[in-house]
């Protein structure tokens, strides 16, 4: 990049990237944070399913096998589903949606997710003005 194209005559920067503070997409439309949550939940499901299967098959190797398979399926399925839900929405939509969901369904946990600052009132809004 040449300096003459990126700065104006008074020394201010003319080019400011608008995606500078966004998290990059890592796998199948998931950012790094979303990928870790997806992998963690998938591994938990794999562990829960793998323990009974290991007992039925009488082999301990079934547990890590089911965990790895569950992580693969979870990233594939969750990545596709989340990508379609996030399409056309702002970057922070998922996090605000989760905060809203926790604030409505589990109000005791709302202070831990920052959900107390959200407006959760439903109904008609009025300006309380009288007709002229």
Taking only the tens of pLDDT, the chain with its 132 residues reads 454 566 667 767 666 666 666 777 788 888 888 889 899 999 999 999 999 999 999 999 999 999 999 999 999 998 888 888 888 888 788 888 888 888 888 888 888 887 777 776 777 777 777 666
- Whole-angstrom distance, CA of residue 4 vs CA of residue 6: 6
Spell out the residues 6+ positions from residue 30 whose beta carbon is closer than 8 angstroms to its own: 38, 75, 78, 79, 82, 83
Instruction: Give me the pLDDT at residue 19, please.
Output: 66
Closest CA to 27 of 73, 79, 72: 79
In the chain, the N- to C-terminal Cα span, in Å, equals 61
- Whole-angstrom distance, CA of residue 76 vs CA of residue 83: 11
Question: What predicted TM-score, i.e. pTM, was given to this entire model?
Answer: 0.66
DSSP 46-59: HHHHHHHHHHHHT-
């Amino acid at each position: 990049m040449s300096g003459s194209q990126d700065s104006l005559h008074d020394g201010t920067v003319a080019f400011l990237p608008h995606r500078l503070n966004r998290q990059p997409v890592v796998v199948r439309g998931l950012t790094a944070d979303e990928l870790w949550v997806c992998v963690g939940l998938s591994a938990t499901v794999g562990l829960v399913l793998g323990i009974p299967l290991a007992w039925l098959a009488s082999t301990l190797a079934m547990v890590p096998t089911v965990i790895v398979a569950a992580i693969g399926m979870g990233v594939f399925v969750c990545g596709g589903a989340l990508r379609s839900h996030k399409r056309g929405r702002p970057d922070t939509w998922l996090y605000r949606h989760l905060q809203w969901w926790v604030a409505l369904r589990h109000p005791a946990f709302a202070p831990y997710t920052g959900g107390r600052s959200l407006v959760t009132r439903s109904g008609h809004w009025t300006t309380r003005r009288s007709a002229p």
